[in-house]
Chain A
Amino acid sequence: MIFLLAVMVKPVEPVPSIHIEKKEMKEFIPLKEIEKLSIRLYQILLSGQQGDVCNFEPSCSHFAFMAIDTYGAFWGILMAADRLERCHPFSFSYVPTYYRAGFVPGRGIKILEKPEDVWRFR
């Protein structure tokens, strides 16, 4: 009987030690963090009051945040400035925008209604 048990019951294997890799801490760059914080503050305090008005997806503030986070303070801020200069109602000539502007006789350039099929781009 004991012999049978000894054959059937497998010895308990020792539990392998779990090795948890520590996440590498990102390098703290003050200028980068200040820029990111200012964008976050804008998103919390101001952006909500404007509503959904950006032409792009993701919106300019999200793009700027990601750009700074990925490419650093210098290149990120340049990319953000470039993006802001591209986000305007006059871009309708080559981009179907969210809020389109068009020439209305007698009323000049007017922001037209939101098109039904919104096609956003990066």
Chain B
Amino acid sequence: MILLLAVVMQPKDILRFAHTLEKEGDTYRAITEYKRFLYYNSDADSIRYRIVYLYTREGLYGNAIDVMRTVISKDSLYKETMGFLFYRAGMYDSVYAYWKDKKLGLIDLQEGKFKEGLKKLGMKNLSPPSMKSPVAGALLSVIVPGLGRIYAGRVGDGIYTLLTIASTSYFAYSFYRENKKPGAYIFAGLSIFFYAGDIFGSYIAVNMYNNMVKEKFIQGIEGEVF
């Protein structure tokens, strides 16, 4: 039966089937069918680009790069696409081999060099995003527990942390006053545990906030560049 199908199915039919699968959203099977079509027409670069597009849509940049390496005509479109795929995959060193224009500024932005990146992109008028200091966040948490998280924009976490540390400290103190030392030690330990966790967490929260701001800023610029 399979042999019969193999005989009956012509390359055109395979391509039509692949298009149908793609329309239905069955991406991976569509890729398989496109690859099967390439077996018959190995010089069809347009199909390779189709496969690359599908892999990119699924976020599989490594697979897309592998397919791109088999593209026959290494023209400007090839270089642009390869650069884009390496950029998306986070392999910035490899991007320099394919991109030569102002788009290289995006790599500087990804590496946190905002001024240089904007200069390369020709967007001097744009001001770089305002970042917050993770050390300042941690120090704020040292002074007032939870303040570092509020500084990072996580108000709920900050209030909850303050309440947690305040209540455990209060219990530790009240147990100590009543001369119940085991309880006092347990709650003092919990208090220190949450206090240390808050300082560490504030540092991380500010870093996460900075990453979020950076990503939003770069996404905005990518929309203009690509």
Query: Number of contact residues on B: which range applies?
Result: 10 to 19
- A91 near B: Cβ within 8 Å? yes
Say whether B45 faces chain A, with CB atoms less than 8 Å apart.
no
Q: Which of A29-47 contact B (CB under 8 A)?
A: none
Does A63 interact with chain B (Cβ within 8 Å)? no
Check if B197 sits within 8 Å of A84, measured CB to CB. Answer: yes
- Chain B's interface: helix, strand, loop or mixed, by majority? helix
Stretch among B34-42, B89-97, B154-162 lining the A interface: B154-162
With an 8 A cutoff between CB atoms, is B210 at the interface? no
Asked whether A81 is an interface residue with its Cβ less than 8 Å from the other chain, the reply is yes
Tell me the minimal C-beta distance from A41 to chain B in angstroms. 15
B200 and A79 form a contact (CB under 8 A): yes
Task: Kindly state whether residue A80 has any CB partner on chain B within 8 Å.
Answer: yes
**A90 contacts B159, C-beta separation under 8 Å:** yes
Residues of A close to B160: CB separation below 8 A: 85, 88, 90
Cβ B200 vs Cβ A81 within 8 A: yes
Q: A81-B201, A84-B194 given as contacts; is B161 within 8 A of A93 (CB)?
A: no
Query: How far is it, in angstroms, between the C-alpha of A105 and the C-alpha of B193 when the chains are bound?
Result: 36
User: B204 near A: Cβ within 8 Å?
Assistant: yes
Our count of residue pairs bridging A and B at CB distance below 8 angstroms stands at 48
Known: A78-B197, A91-B156. 19 other contacts (CB 8 A): A78-B196, A81-B196, A81-B198, A82-B197, A82-B198, A82-B200, A82-B201, A85-B157, A85-B160, A85-B201, A86-B201, A88-B156, A90-B156, A90-B159, A90-B160, A91-B157, A93-B156, A94-B154, A94-B156
Q: Which of B147-170 contact A (CB under 8 A)?
A: 149, 154-157, 159-161, 164
Q: Which residues of B contact A80 (CB under 8 A)?
A: 197
Contact residues, B169-216 vs A (CB, 8 A)? 193-194, 196-198, 200-201, 204
Which residue of B is nearest A85, CB measured? B161
Residue ranges of B at the interface with A (Cβ–Cβ < 8 Å): 149, 154-157, 159-161, 164, 193-194, 196-198, 200-201, 204
Q: In this complex, what residue of A is CB-closest to B149?
A: A85
Chain B residues within an 8 Å CB radius of A77: 193, 197
- Residues of chain A at the chain B interface (Cβ within 8 Å): 77-82, 84-86, 88, 90-94
Which residues of chain B come closer than 8 Å to A84, judged between CB atoms?
194, 197
Pick 11 A–B contacts, CB within 8 A, sort by A: A78-B197, A78-B200, A79-B200, A81-B196, A81-B200, A84-B197, A85-B161, A85-B197, A86-B201, A90-B159, A91-B156
Chain B residues whose CB sits within 8 angstroms of the CB of A88 once the complex forms: 156-157, 160
In the complex, the answer to whether A82 meets B155 with C-beta atoms within 8 Å is no
